[in-house]
Amino acid sequence: MNKEKIFKKNRILYWLYKIQKIYKNKKPNIHYGEFGEDILVNRIFKNKNFGIYVDIGAYHPFKGSLTQKLYSKGWKGVNIDISKTSIDLFDIARPNDLNINCAVGIKNEETIFYQNSLINQQNSLKRQHLDQKEIKIKCFRLDDLLISKKIKNVDYINIDTEGTELDVIKGIDFKKTKPLLLTIEDNNFDNKAVSKQEKIYYMRYLGYELINTIGVTMFFFKNEMLSELSELIKI
């Protein structure tokens, strides 16, 4: 006998069913992302209790983090930032992760980043104004960095590098590193902006489709897995 027939015969059971449906989902979603982006990240991976993430431009272990809830449920990952202070915070808050103070780009080299303050979301490899302090730093292709640290089977990559995201992407060999999901920041709210369109076309060429934009973060999902997306994110 299906639920509908049972409820027609028993009003008390139906009342209990409705109460359960109301209060089961009463608890609000808690998020760390600036625009709640991590809610969708966690929906996609809700049934995956262990995985590996790589957070490039990680900034802070809690504030604005798209990976903190994954870490708290047992995932492990690599947190990378050009700010040594940021990485010092990750060493304290995420001792089970690999936390690396370096830049990530299109080639391995020593380069310069421009610092506003010891920990600042706008610290970048691109100069924004003359008051920024120049700091020398080592830069690596992501693939070379992961190989050197023996990191394999990455499930999720987040890239937030204040304007150099495409260089980071071009330093990834997607035949070796095949995340299901990438989130990529672009600080332009105009979806037709050249910088966004470049990322969308390049990611499509690599086999990833734009599935959503939340705030300034674009979500790219592996094209060959798109048929499973609806099932992954359903409530």
- Write the pLDDT tens digit of every residue in 66-103: 999 999 999 999 999 999 999 999 999 999 999 999 99
Higher pLDDT, 13 or 150: 150
Tokens representing 81 are 């930032």
Read off the pLDDT band of 25 (50, 70, 90).
low
Report the chain's mean pLDDT, rounded to a whole number: 91
The yes-or-no verdict on residue 210 having pLDDT over 90 is: yes
CB atoms near residue 229 (< 10 Å): 16
Please tell me the distance from the alpha carbon of residue 41 to that of residue 9, in angstroms, as a whole number: 42
Q: What are 157-180's pLDDT values in tens digits?
A: 999 999 899 999 999 999 999 999
Q: Is 112 helix (H, G, I), strand (E, B) or coil?
A: strand
Identify the architecture of domain 31-102+145-233 in CATH: 3-Layer(aba) Sandwich (3.40)
Read off the pLDDT band of 14 (50, 70, 90).
confident
Rounded to two decimals, the pTM is: 0.88
The rounded percent of the chain whose pLDDT value lies above 90 is: 73
Residues 52, 54, 55, CA angle at the centre, nearest 5°?
135
Quote the pLDDT of residue 21. Answer: 65
Quote the pLDDT of residue 198. Answer: 96
| CA dihedral of residues 97, 76, 208, 57 (deg, nearest 10) | -20
Quote the pLDDT of residue 34. Answer: 93
Read off the pLDDT band of 130 (50, 70, 90).
confident
Higher pLDDT, 93 or 16: 93
The yes-or-no verdict on residue 5 having pLDDT over 70 is: no
The stretch 43-57 carries a mean pLDDT of 97
DSSP letters spanning 142-207: HHHHHHHTT-----EEEE--SS-HHHHHHT--TTT---SEEEEE-----TT-HHHHHHHHHHHHHT
Which range is least confidently modeled, 45-59, 127-141, 216-230? 127-141
Higher pLDDT, 212 or 126: 212
The CATH 3.40.50.150 domain(s) of the chain lie at 31-102+145-233
* Residue 54 dihedral angles phi and psi, to the nearest 5°: -130, 120
Length of the chain: 235
Question: How buried is 163 (Cβ within 10 angstroms: 0-12 exposed, 13-18 middle, 19+ buried)?
Answer: middle
Tokens representing 76 are 């492990």
